[in-house]
């Protein structure tokens, strides 16, 4: 079943860069640029082993002498994602390329008569746990994407996420088009700290900070000013988060974290347009962009990234976004794909 339709509008975004390119810029790992509401704060309290991430961060911040109320305010914006990287020597949690294990008797995921390239898979039970990120407890997720066609298409037909439940009879399945099979390699997992891009940078250079501020919309600039007012120790807390969860080696792909900004913005546009069509208030064109941005701000609590990853062609980057409740019920067919050029 193809992924749902999403009509996307083009707008510049830092999310077009890979996780490796973004590094520790202070602009988050491919983040949506929107804050997490208090209800999502539990996303920090998952375990990797027996570790309490929320508690670990709070204790470390208190040891630095940072007031508890500032720690709580900062934590509402902090998300953890799972970075995937090859060649690190860690415990394998999935594979990129090669031939996937599909349920016995299942047809290869295709768009009409066009088989979709297999990108990667992960074993859910092997991934580090992050509370509030409701991945299935076991089974595997497989990601398929024809990036060149998906980039030009808005139906979702050229992208697919497949969930294979634990205990399902599977077999290694070769692609109907072997030339689309990428080189296989195992990937291991590590946790990454993500923050919204409007947080600015953690650099000392005031000129860089001013440059980043100029790139923000008026709405985001106000969010940043409010943040700096409410969290005087912002730089220290940001540095602490990246020290605790730096993502050794910088991951090439990520599971979880902030949804692609383009997805959230497009959903916001469709939501507002639907309200107008249903007889709601008509938004003047001059105010449309600001209303969309505020709606996207609200929607970020409902959406998250399911996966962001490079593809074989270095000029493209793929991602899937999903609603929290759809992921909790393993409705991965509801994930919305976005393919964009890397910059």
- Residue closest to 140 by CA, chosen among 129, 158, 127, 152: 127
Name the band, by pLDDT with cuts 50, 70 and 90, for residue 20. Answer: very low
Let me know if residue 221 belongs to a domain: yes
Tell me if 6 is assigned to some domain: no
The stretch 154-168 carries a mean pLDDT of 94
306 part of a folded domain: yes
Block residue for tokens 């394998």: 92
Per-residue pLDDT band at 328 (split at 50, 70, 90): very high
Give me the domain span that covers residue 164.
14-341
User: pLDDT at position 140, please?
Assistant: 97
Residue 328, token pair as written in the block:
């909790």
Tell me the pTM: 0.80
Q: Is residue 186 part of a domain?
A: yes
| 8 A C-beta contact, residue 78 and residue 194 | yes
- Is the residue at 8 inside a domain? no
Q: What is the pLDDT of residues 95-105, one digit of tens each?
A: 999 999 999 99
Contact 168, 142 (CB under 8 A): no
Is the pLDDT at 284 greater than 60? The verdict is yes
Q: Given strand 336-341, what is the order of strands in its sheet?
A: 159-164, 140-145, 118-123, 94-96, 185-194, 79-86, 253-255, 303-310, 316-323, 336-341
Domain count, the chain: 1
pLDDT at 80 over 70: yes
Whole-angstrom Cα distance, residue 252 to residue 281? 44
Mean pLDDT of 270-279: 93
Asked if the structure places residue 135 within a domain, the reply is yes
Cα–Cα dist 260/266, whole Å: 10
Torsion of CA 194, 317, 87, 84, to 10 degrees: 40
């Amino acid at each position: 079943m193809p992924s749902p339709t999403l009509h996307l509008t083009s707008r510049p975004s830092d999310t077009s860069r890979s996780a490796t390119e973004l590094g520790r810029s202070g602009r988050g790992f491919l983040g949506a640029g929107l804050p997490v509401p208090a209800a999502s704060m539990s996303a920090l309290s998952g375990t990797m082993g027996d570790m309490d991430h929320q508690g670990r961060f709070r204790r470390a911040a208190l040891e630095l002498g940072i007031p508890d109320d500032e720690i709580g305010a900062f934590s509402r914006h902090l998300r953890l994602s799972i970075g995937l990287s090859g060649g690190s020597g860690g415990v394998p949690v999935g594979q990129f390329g090669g031939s996937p294990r599909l349920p016995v008797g299942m047809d290869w995921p295709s768009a009409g008569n066009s088989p979709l390239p297999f990108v990667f898979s992960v074993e859910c039970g092997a991934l580090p746990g992050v509370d509030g990120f409701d991945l299935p407890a076991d089974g595997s997720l497989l990601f398929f994407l024809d990036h060149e066609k998906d980039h030009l298409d808005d139906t979702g037909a050229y992208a697919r996420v497949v969930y294979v439940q634990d205990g399902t009879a599977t077999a290694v399945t070769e692609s109907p088009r072997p030339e689309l099979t990428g080189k296989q390699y195992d990937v291991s997992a590590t946790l990454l700290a993500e923050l919204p891009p409007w947080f600015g940078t953690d650099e000392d250079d005031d000129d860089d900070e001013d440059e980043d501020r100029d790139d923000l919309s008026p709405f985001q600039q106000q969010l940043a000013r409010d943040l700096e007012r409410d969290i005087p120790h912002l730089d220290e807390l940001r540095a602490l988060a990246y020290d605790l969860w730096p993502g050794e080696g910088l991951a090439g792909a990520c599971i979880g974290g902030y949804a692609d900004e383009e997805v959230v913005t497009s959903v916001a546009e469709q939501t507002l347009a639907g309200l107008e069509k249903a007889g709601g208030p008509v938004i003047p064109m001059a105010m449309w962009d600001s209303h969309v941005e505020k709606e996207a701000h609200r929607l970020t609590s409902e959406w998250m990234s399911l996966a962001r990853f490079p593809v074989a062609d270095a000029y493209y980057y793929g991602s899937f976004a999903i609603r929290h409740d759809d992921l909790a019920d393993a409705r991965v067919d509801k994930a919305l794909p976005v393919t964009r050029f890397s910059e």
